[in-house]
Amino acid sequence: MTEKKETDSKNEIWENVGVLTFTALIFAGPAIFSWQIYKYLRIGSWPSLSVVDALKWCNVQWATTPVDWVGLHRSLEWMPLSLFIPLVIGLFFLVAREL
CA distance 41 to 75: 28
User: Is the pTM here over 0.85, yes or no?
Assistant: no
Do residues 25 and 90 lie in contact, with contact meaning Cβ atoms separated by under 8 Å?
no
Picking from 28, 11, 33, the residue whose alpha carbon sits closest to that of residue 85 is: 28
Instruction: Give phi and psi for 94, each to the nearest 5.
Output: -65, -45
**pLDDT score of 7:** 67
Q: Which domain holds residue 16?
A: 2-98
**pLDDT score of 2:** 55
**pLDDT score of 88:** 83
For the chain, 99 residues long, the average pLDDT of each consecutive 10-residue run is 64 81 84 94 94 94 94 94 85 77
**pLDDT score of 74:** 94
Picking from 94, 45, 54, 93, the residue whose alpha carbon sits closest to that of residue 76 is: 54
Provide the number of structural domains found in the chain: 1
